[in-house]
Amino acid sequence: MLEVTGLNGWYGPAHILFDVDLTVGPGEVVALLGRNGAGKSTTFRAVVGLLAKRSGRVRFAGRDISDLPTHDIARAGLGYVPEDRRIFTELTVAENLEVGRQPARAGAATWTPERLFELFPNLGAMRTRPGGRMSGGEQQMLTIARTLMGNPKLVLLDEPSEGLAPKIVEEMATAILAMKGEGVSVVLSEQNLHFARLISDRAIIIERGRVRFDGTMAELEARPEVRDAYLAV
């Protein structure tokens, strides 16, 4: 589904990512783990074309998207939910969803507001409420729902649990598993190993811009030294 090879990224003069490789299969949930500043958000930004300077190849759903602008990458079916939610506070819930709407896509689940309200019942009860009047957890649900409106084949979720109450984080886990059930691949960046463990098939650990571990969740559990070295839980 997603195949990243030799990805390098720069932030101004600073070289942040070094030859990052990662692959995600159809319907797979992969956790990108690492400390703050390890390069998780930068990896996502590089994949969706929001980084000014980068090199390397990104193939998605059988096509090379390395040089496409951000909006064309989104139109290819690759959804991206940035770390700080960024819902449109002046727009209502329904309008927020409208911004994310894209035509139905072959080979991907088709989402409508009605279907999304089933997945996130809270949102259905507040369709005309401005985004700015929602709680943090509701806003996080809305950003995910908004991205699903584009009928993506794969979604990059940047720190979905950051700043949320533990209880909302549990609801988030349920929603991500539901997406997986619809065949949507998910890559989520996390610092919270407990949360990642609940939902992921595979883990990739990134540290100082390099991939240090790539394997199944069970393999990671079996190697506490890796966890201790790079995650400092």
- Return residues touching other proteins (CB under 8 A): 35-37, 48, 50, 69-72, 74-75, 80, 82, 86, 88-91, 95-96, 98-100, 102, 133-137, 146-147, 150, 161-170, 191-192, 194-195, 198, 231-233
Phi, psi of 160 (to 5 degrees): -65, -20
**What stretches of the chain show up as alpha helix (H) in DSSP?**
40-47, 70-75, 93-100, 113-119, 121-124, 136-148, 166-181, 193-199, 217-221, 224-230
CB of 182 to other proteins, least distance (A): 19
Among 74, 119, 82, 76, residue whose Cα is nearest residue 100:
74
**Closer CB to other proteins, residue 22 or residue 51?**
51
CB of 200 to other proteins, least distance (A): 13
CB of 27 to other proteins, least distance (A): 22
**Closer CB to other proteins, residue 24 or residue 34?**
34
Q: What sign does the dihedral 39-40-41-44 (CA atoms) show?
A: positive
CB 91 within 8 A of CB 81: no
CB of 211 to other proteins, least distance (A): 18
**Closer CB to other proteins, residue 21 or residue 192?**
192
